Amino acid sequence: MLEIGQFLLFSLELMSALFIFLVGSSLLVVICMYISDVRQTKQAIRRNYPVIGRFRYLFEKQGEFFRQYFFAMDREEMPFNRAERSWVYRAAKDVDRMIAFGSTRNLDPPGTILFMNCAFPTLEEDAVDPAEVVIGPDCPHPYATRSLFNISGMSYGAISRPAVLALSRGARLAGCWLNTGEGGLSPYHLEGGCDLVYQIGTAKYGVRDSAGRLSDAKLAEVAAHPQVKMFEIKMSQGAKPGKGGILPAAKVTDEIAAIRGIPSGEASISPNGHPDIRSAADLLDMIGRIRRVTGKPVGFKAVIGETAWLETLLNEVVRRGVDCAPDFITIDSADGGTGAAPQPLMDYVGLTLKESLPLLVNLLLERKLKQRIKVIASGKLIVPSKVAWALAVGADFVSSARGFMFSLGCIQAMQCNKDTCPTGITTHNPRLQQGLDPTDKSQRVANYHKYVSYGVGLIAHSCGVTEPRQLRRHHVKIVAERGISIPLDQLHPLPVADK
């Protein structure tokens, strides 16, 4: 008993000493923080309210996470609400996507999309797979695909090695294409074995000479890869029209620098426009040049704002002849995403897809160029309803970056530009990358693609057509004032000859 008593007494004394040590240490830390706060001059809150003022910055930092998980309603969070993200997660994991009781979606706000089901929906035995679409039919190497939904541009550098691997492998499983983004062609794009669209940005990464100009020799090298099916000239991007790509120095590793042809460890800032494309005529000349060198379809990507240049471009196509036309146009929405962009551009510049897509399609129809020039719609189209809407307006294809990021496990942490992405998608930190298993995530990419395509088919069959590309504007209504809907073909009328 004596030994037990001595042990208990010793334990109490040890705990007391430990408690005193912890209290003393904490008090010392608080005193140091107090001295630091009252002496610094950069933050008034900390200087006026030493120690306590630090909580303001902590709460501000954590606020976005508390809103995301505890306070935001299912349909109100931006840029993507919880209902949309949750659907993508379930689709990617191939788990039940059914819901019960009733939709949480408010059907009254202006702009709400409503599809018009018919009395006699398409029966399962009458449904067909999407028709094959050929892009650049007159090119030496045209590209034919059935995929409605594809992976938009995300460069190696903006996203990590395992993320590129997972997307590449997943795209092959899904039978869709993967856009390389403007950062050049990496071994990880090729390793998965999928179809690739090579994006040429304003800095010409991967196809530039020592002076930063487009190199025909390097273009031919890239085109020699049979997986590279098309080339896309990036004129502008929805999240930052008028601003080039931005890759912080922390993300420019030796490997990424070698692929891009730039110095390692220095921020990779692309010009805000192509120095050699200063007019619509220049753009057509560049498209022709790349097509001659590569023998493959060539198009361009742009967010629409001022439209006179686009009309000039299409008029020039009519004047020169359709042989000079771009094989496709990727139209990006002003609410598109990026890893890094100035907030004034992200918040205030450019037209959203709901206005720019019907505008472009109508311009093509008016000039009888719609069959020649394919339209790819991009920008926040991550769920079947929005993909179906774009097809009904006149898009031939839809591409998404952020939807596929969610399929990889993105939690919308908003850390893309800081090399601290907690899911390993947009970081080059090996410790954070280890959580992203390309084998597992590639299957999730394929699952997500499968269920988006399936969901678009459900909507199409409900509207009475046999496959999604048969959807038309009269199948859609848009809610206007007082919660009353109007037909989409009344809101955006087709040119008279195409009605």
- Residue 105 located in a structural domain: no
Q: What is the pLDDT of residues 266-298, one digit of tens each?
A: 877 778 889 999 999 999 999 999 999 999 999
- What distance in Å separates the CA atoms of residue 400 and residue 384, rounded to the nearest whole number? 12
Q: Where does a domain end: 38, 71, 104?
A: 71
Say what the pLDDT of residue 384 is: 95
In this structure, are 43 and 130 located in the same domain? Answer: no
How far apart are alpha carbons 7 and 390 in whole angstroms?
75
Between 228 and 14, whose confidence is greater? 228
Average pLDDT for residues 312-322, to the nearest whole number? Answer: 96
Residues 173 and 67 in one domain: no
- Averaged over 469-488, what is the pLDDT? 93
Q: 289 and 147 share a domain?
A: yes
Flag whether pLDDT at 338 surpasses 70. Answer: no
Burial class (CB in 10 A: 0-12, 13-18, 19+), 42: exposed
**Residue 387 and residue 489 in one domain:** yes
Higher pLDDT, 145 or 29: 145
Per-residue pLDDT at 8:
65
Query: In terms of DSSP bridges, do strands 149-151 and 143-145 run parallel, antiparallel, or are they unpaired?
Result: unpaired
CB 187 within 8 A of CB 257: no
With bands split at pLDDT 50, 70 and 90, how would you rate the model's confidence at 7?
low
Mean confidence (pLDDT) of the chain? 86
Is the pLDDT reported for residue 29 higher than 60?
Answer: yes
- Dig out the tokens for 168 from the structure: 């590449």
- Structure confidence by residue, pLDDT tens digits, 184-196: 999 999 999 999 9
Look at residues 27, 52, 71 and tell me which one is the last residue of a structural domain. 71
95 lies in a domain? no
pLDDT at 181: 92
Tracing tokens 């909580």 back to the chain, one arrives at 55
> Tokens 């459900």 map to which residue?
458
Q: What are phi and psi of 63, to 5 degrees?
A: -55, -40
pLDDT value of residue 413: 74
pLDDT tens by residue, 176-224:
999 999 989 999 999 999 999 999 999 899 999 988 899 999 999 999 9
CA angle 116, 119, 121 (to 5 degrees): 80
Residue 114 included in any domain:
no
Domain-embedded: residue 109? no
pLDDT at 434 over 90: no
pLDDT (0 to 100) of residue 67: 57
Domain co-membership, 162 together with 67:
no
- Quick one: 60 and 136 in the same domain? no
Q: Which domain CATH number covers 291?
A: 3.20.20.70
Same domain, 57 and 131: no
Q: Are strands 476-479 and 113-115 parallel, antiparallel or unpaired?
A: antiparallel
Whole-angstrom distance, CA of residue 293 vs CA of residue 219: 7
pLDDT in tens, 142-170: 999 999 999 999 998 888 899 999 999 99
Same domain, 65 and 189: no
pLDDT band at 38 (very low <50, low <70, confident <90, very high): confident
Does one domain contain both 157 and 51? no
User: What DSSP letter does each residue of 2-42 carry, written as one string?
Assistant: HHHHHHHHHHHHHHHHHHHHHHHHHHHHHHHHHHHHHH--S
The answer to whether residue 61 sits within a structural domain is: yes
Query: Where is 347: in which H helix or E strand?
Result: helix 343-348
Domain encompassing residue 9: 2-71
What pLDDT does residue 85 have?
81
The answer to whether residue 141 is domain-embedded is yes
Whether residues 35 and 129 fall in one domain: no
Q: Which residues pair with 301 in a beta bridge?
A: 234, 330
C-alpha–C-alpha distance, residues 88 and 448, integer Å: 7
Closest C-alpha to 395, from 205, 151, 133: 133
Domain total of the chain: 2
Which pLDDT score, from 0 to 100, does residue 422 have? 81
What does the pLDDT average to over 3-27?
Answer: 71
Residue 361 and residue 252 share a domain: yes
With respect to residue 108, please indicate whether it lies within any of the assigned structural domains: no
Q: Is residue 335 within 8 Å of residue 288, measured between CB atoms? A: no
Listing DSSP states for 226-267 in one string gives: TTEEEEEEE---TTSTT---EE-GGG--HHHHHHHTS-TTS-
pLDDT of residue 3: 64
In a domain, 117, yes or no: no
Mean pLDDT of 107-124: 91
pLDDT of 143 reads: 98
Helices (H), 384-485: 384-393, 402-408, 430-433, 438-462
Q: Tokens representing 222? A: 């890239």
Examine the domain organization and report whether 9 and 150 are in the same domain: no
User: How far is C-alpha 284 from the chain's CA centre?
Assistant: 26
pLDDT-derived band at 41 (thresholds 50, 70, 90) equals low
The one-character DSSP state at 302 is E
pLDDT for residue 45 is more than 60: no
